[in-house]
Amino acid sequence: MMYNLPMLPTVSIIITTKNEERVIERLLVSIKTQNYKKTEIIVVDNGSLDGTKKIARKYTQKVYNFGPERSSQRNFGVKKAKGNYLFILDADMELDRNVVRECVLLMKKNKKCGLITIPEASVAKTFWEKVKAFERSFYNKEGDTTTDAGRFFDRNAFEKVGGYDETITGPEDWDLPERILKSGYKQGRIKSKIFHYERVPNPLKLARKKYYYALTSYRYLKKHGISPFSEKTIYFLRPVFYKNWKILLSNPIYTLAMFIMLTFEQIGGGLGYFIGKFKKL
């Protein structure tokens, strides 16, 4: 399909990285092969010691060093961006070739749309990666209001609410979209997918990761008036699992393993929340 490029908005694709040489090129290739070409790629690296930046520079000259966390990296990337639309990605992803085009068309069709959710399909090899993919399949089946988070933003909407909250690491993916919606914008959803390459060595590593992300979660919960004992924070309260109970029963091994994995994550997240709140991190 041919485009009249000067009439099309630019999409700034912002990728945050730290030691991602094993996965970053796959994402960059998928961006370059999108059927919507008016894009710019901005990589914001947080002190990688491997070949991440060298690989990134094969695809874009806009490679920067900034930290210390994802929220500040993303905001920095937006300051360097020239696009009308902002697309926030992680290095371990890969895009369907229609993703950017679908997002732009939806934004142009609905002027009140401030953010777009893109379905994520997990790509897994190891057992525990497949268990995590099994969990995510419940959220992505038809979309899930509890866990959905936008990645594609209208720049005006993003800037209206001040971008990512740099005092939060982890729940910022929920915080920003919720603030944009509260400011009066609408949320859209496309059909094309992001492929997320799961990297899950074992439940203990997931628990440690959840612990770290939960250290500042009390700020997010307080800001939005969310109970720490809600379906947003307690995996086992999420209706999406029980609405799809037939899937749980038909996959007993993955179901059991998923509940073991989620128990580890719940313990790690709970410890992180209470320690972060107590120490005011």
Domain that holds residue 235: 202-281
The Cα-based distances of 37 to 6, 109, 234, 263 in angstroms read: 11, 19, 41, 43
- Strand pairing category for 63-65 and 11-17: unpaired
Indicate whether 182 and 230 sit together in one domain.
Answer: no
* Number of compact structural domains in the chain: 2
| pTM, full prediction | 0.92
Indicate whether 159 and 269 sit together in one domain.
Answer: no
pLDDT at residue 187 in the model: 95
Indicate whether 281 and 245 sit together in one domain.
Answer: yes
Indicate whether 183 and 61 sit together in one domain.
Answer: yes
**Tens place of pLDDT for every residue, the chain, 281 residues?**
444 445 789 999 999 999 999 999 999 999 999 999 999 999 999 999 999 999 999 999 999 999 899 999 999 999 999 999 999 999 999 999 999 999 999 999 998 999 999 999 999 999 999 999 999 999 887 777 788 889 999 999 999 999 999 999 999 999 999 999 999 999 999 999 999 998 999 999 999 999 999 999 999 999 999 999 999 999 999 999 999 999 999 999 999 999 999 999 999 999 999 999 999 88
The Cα-based distances of 264 to 119, 170, 280 in angstroms read: 25, 17, 24
Indicate whether 249 and 154 sit together in one domain.
Answer: no
Indicate whether 189 and 208 sit together in one domain.
Answer: no
Is the Cβ–Cβ distance between 95 and 30 less than 8 Å?
A: yes
Does residue 201 have a cis bond before it (omega within 30 degrees)? no
Indicate whether 176 and 87 sit together in one domain.
Answer: yes
Indicate whether 40 and 133 sit together in one domain.
Answer: yes
Cα–Cα distance between 269 and 276 in angstroms, integer?
Answer: 10
Cα–Cα distance between 149 and 137 in angstroms, integer?
Answer: 15
| DSSP-derived 3-state class of residue 139 | helix
Q: Which of 152, 169, 200 corresponds to the end of one domain?
A: 200
Q: Which of 200, 217, 241 corresponds to the end of one domain?
A: 200
Which tokens hold the place of 57? 């520079």
Is the Cβ–Cβ distance between 180 and 157 less than 8 Å?
A: yes
Indicate whether 144 and 241 sit together in one domain.
Answer: no
Cα–Cα distance between 221 and 227 in angstroms, integer?
Answer: 7
Neighbours of 52 (CB within 10 A): 25
Indicate whether 171 and 235 sit together in one domain.
Answer: no
State the DSSP code for 185.
-
Cα–Cα distance between 2 and 217 in angstroms, integer?
Answer: 45
Indicate whether 10 and 70 sit together in one domain.
Answer: yes
DSSP H helical ranges for the chain: 24-32, 52-56, 70-80, 99-109, 127-140, 155-160, 172-182, 203-214, 217-224, 239-243, 245-250, 252-279
Cα–Cα distance between 168 and 220 in angstroms, integer?
Answer: 7
Q: Which of 167, 200, 233 corresponds to the end of one domain?
A: 200
Q: Which of 85, 92, 117, 97 is nearest to 15 (CA)?
A: 92
Domain of residue 77, CATH code: 3.90.550.10
- Strand pairing category for 120-123 and 194-197: parallel
State the DSSP code for 184.
T
Indicate whether 188 and 222 sit together in one domain.
Answer: no
Cα–Cα distance between 228 and 231 in angstroms, integer?
Answer: 9
DSSP for 85-125, please give it: EEEEEETTEEE-TTHHHHHHHHHHH-TTEEEEE--EEEE--
